[in-house]
């Protein structure tokens, strides 16, 4: 689905947004998600100390219609059931607090021991961390599984940026 004069193909989605200086590794992983992790459409935003430092989006929001993901695309994040008692499958070592998930490396790492948030069905992830004062969200139009590499690799890139 390309418009006249637009030579992109579905394998080359239009990716938009910005990253603050120093956050280029997060953009690089976001782009890699489309090329090597079968991303279809997604958005990623990171706030540091109340300042937006990553705001990326692109690809296809709705595969049925071909509607592109844009800056105003709304996405629903569904919370998955937790633990083997609910699903019959192992929980991958997930750690939980009251009403939220804690950083659970290696399956679903966040930034560290002060991180809290929740993974959603399909590999989506939203979390905050009180020490560096970070809020992060990753939403996708393609379903993945718990510990999905797309959110994990974005989180690890953010962790490396903040440690630098």
Q: Can you tell me which residue has the tokens 């790492």? A: 109
The per-residue pLDDT for range 49-101, each reduced to its tens digit, is: 999 999 999 999 998 999 999 999 987 665 544 444 444 444 555 555 555 77
Q: What is the average pLDDT across 122-145?
A: 87
Distance from the Cα of residue 21 to its chain's centroid: 20
Provide the CB-side half-sphere exposure for 54 (13 A, CA).
27
Confidence of residue 120 (pLDDT cuts 50, 70, 90): confident
pLDDT of residue 155: 93
Which residue bears the tokens 């080359």? 12
Please write down the HEC assignment for all residues of the chain: CCCCCCCCCCCCCCEEEEECCCCHHHHHHHHHHHHHCCCCEEEEEEEECCEEEEEEEEEEEECCCCEECCCCCCCCCCECCCCHHHHCCCCCCCEEECCEEECECCCECCCCCCEEEEEECCCCEEEEECCCCEEEEEEECCCCCCCCHHHHHHHHHHHHHHHC
Q: Quick check: 15 and 34 in contact, CB under 8 A?
A: yes
Q: Give the angle 23-36-79 at the CA atoms, nearest 5°.
A: 75
Token pair 């950083």 is found at 103
| Mean pLDDT (whole number) for 103-116 | 81
When mean pLDDT is compared across 17-21, 65-69, 119-123, the lowest value belongs to 119-123
Q: What pTM did the predictor assign?
A: 0.78
């Amino acid at each position: 689905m390309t418009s006249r004069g637009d030579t992109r193909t579905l394998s080359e989605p239009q990716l938009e947004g910005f990253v603050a200086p120093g956050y280029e590794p997060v953009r690089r992983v976001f782009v890699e998600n489309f090329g090597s992790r079968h991303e279809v459409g997604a958005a990623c935003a990171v706030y540091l100390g109340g300042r937006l430092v990553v705001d990326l989006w692109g690809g296809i929001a709705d595969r049925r219609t071909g509607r592109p993901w844009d800056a105003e695309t709304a996405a629903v994040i569904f919370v998955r059931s937790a633990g083997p008692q609910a699903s019959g499958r192992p929980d991958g070592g997930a750690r939980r607090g009251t009403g939220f998930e804690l950083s659970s490396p290696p399956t679903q790492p966040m930034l560290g021991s002060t991180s809290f948030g929740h993974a959603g069905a399909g590999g989506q992830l939203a979390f905050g961390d009180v020490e560096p004062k970070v809020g992060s969200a990753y939403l996708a139009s393609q379903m993945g599984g718990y510990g999905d590499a797309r959110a994990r690799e974005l989180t690890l890139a953010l962790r490396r940026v903040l440690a630098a």
